[in-house]
Amino acid sequence: MIFYFSSTGNSKHVAKVLSEATGEKMVSITECVRKMHYDFKLKKGERIGFVYPVYCWGLPSVVEEFVKYASIEKYGKHYTYSVATCGAATGQADSNLAKLLSKKGIPMHASFAVKMVDNYTVVFNVKNTEKNEKINAEAEEKIQNIAFLVNNRTGGYHNKLRGVWPVSNAVHVAYSLSRKTAPFKVSQDCIGCGICEKNCPAKAISMDFGKPVWTEKNCALCLGCLHNCPVNAITYGPTTKRNGQYHYNEKQ
Ligand SMILES: Cc1cc2nc3c(=O)[nH]c(=O)nc-3n(C[C@H](O)[C@H](O)[C@H](O)COP(=O)(O)O)c2cc1C
Ligand code: SF4
Ligand code: SF4
């Protein structure tokens, strides 16, 4: 079983490659959280995978909460692994995930990380599609190698992107403090399609007379609503509009 969380497709692509290599099924954490589905039964010896984006050198709140609530019924020996996707560095995201799983009696056998396009458009510009394609093309070789290692149940710590890990938890505190929905704005371009509301992992959006309103004070800050809006009508502060929208292109 491959549990994945993804707002702009990077982690979903990695989960897809892993699923093709192992023949094991992908489980969307967003869908599970939205449907409050937390009970899982594993097949004998099945691998347990977690694929997720790094947020401020730590785990997305959605992943952290999902792992805390999930009840995973084991059967036989299982190989557990995690793959972090990030724009530059993971901090202690993988170690924190391993700690959470260990509290549930699930040991982590292998950790991997891969650099892909950074979707944090509050800071980074993603308008250069050629540059994005280059970054993701370089990532593809690593993803295929991770899939090979996972398929062979290779153990060990393979993350080379940890960064200056001692300050990692301090950086992650900034995430907890910045997950505010107040900066979200929707422009007149909104066509009322409801995609943002339907896919929000935090159920923080409601449609009101055909326009989204943010009904929760905090959210996961995944920026999925902003990046996946078909008419680019959502902004988060003054920078995101000029920094563009991003989604992994499966045709690459
Ligand atoms: C709120 C937020 C915080 C992020 N923090 C980090 C970070 O600390 N380090 C990093 O390398 N990338 C960071 N990123 C970039 C994502 O981890 C990266 O783009 C990831 O591959 C996106 O995966 P997805 O397309 O599956 O959602 C951040 C993105 C967001 C939205
Ligand atoms: S995804 Fe965009 S167009 Fe669709 S309802 Fe949300 S803001 Fe409006
Ligand atoms: S409101 Fe937008 S950024 Fe926040 S969790 Fe929902 S989809 Fe993600």
**Using one digit for the tens of pLDDT, what is the confidence trace for 81-111?**
999 999 999 999 999 999 999 999 999 999 9
Domain with residue 83: its CATH number is 3.40.50
Within-domain flag for 251 = no
85 Cβ inside 6 Å of ligand 1: yes
Q: What's the mean pLDDT in 120-146?
A: 97
Provide the pLDDT for residue 252. 54
Number of structural domains found in the chain? 2
Same domain assignment for residues 24 and 103: yes
The tens digit of pLDDT for each residue in 158-183 reads 999 998 767 778 888 889 899 999 99
Q: How many whole angstroms separate alpha carbon 222 and alpha carbon 64? A: 13
pLDDT over 90 at 126, yes or no: yes
Within-domain flag for 249 = no
Residues in contact with 89: Cβ distance below 8 Å, sequence separation at least 6, in sequence order: 54, 57, 161, 162, 163, 164
63 Cβ inside 6 Å of ligand 2: no
Q: How many whole angstroms separate alpha carbon 188 and alpha carbon 4? A: 33
Cβ distance 226 to 121 under 8 Å?
yes
Domain with residue 229: its CATH number is 3.30.70.20
Same domain assignment for residues 238 and 202: yes
Whole-model pTM: value is: 0.97
Specify the higher pLDDT residue, 167 or 36: 36
Same domain assignment for residues 31 and 106: yes
Same domain assignment for residues 210 and 164: no
Same domain assignment for residues 158 and 186: no
Same domain assignment for residues 153 and 191: no
Cβ distance 127 to 24 under 8 Å?
no
Nearest to 101 by CA among 80, 73, 121: 80
Same domain assignment for residues 140 and 220: no
Provide the pLDDT for residue 167. 76
Within-domain flag for 252 = no
Same domain assignment for residues 229 and 148: no
Provide the pLDDT for residue 210. 96
Q: What's the mean pLDDT in 140-156?
A: 98
Ligand 3 centroid–CA 219 distance in Å is: 6
Picking from 150, 173, 196, the residue at the C-terminal end of a domain is 173
Q: What's the mean pLDDT in 59-67?
A: 97
Same domain assignment for residues 148 and 64: yes
Nearest to 158 by CA among 172, 174, 143: 143
Range of the domain at 143: 2-173
CB atoms within 10 A of CB 186: 18
Here the tokens at position 86 are: 């990030």
What mean pLDDT is reported for the chain? 96
Specify the higher pLDDT residue, 142 or 165: 142
Same domain assignment for residues 155 and 215: no
The tens digit of pLDDT for each residue in 202-251 reads 999 999 999 999 999 999 999 999 999 999 999 999 999 999 999 999 86
Ligand 3 centroid–CA 180 distance in Å is: 10
Same domain assignment for residues 12 and 87: yes
Within-domain flag for 248 = no
Nearest CA to ligand 1 atom 30: 120
Cβ distance 54 to 94 under 8 Å?
no
For residue 141, what is the enclosing H or E element? helix 129-151
CB atoms within 10 A of CB 27: 18
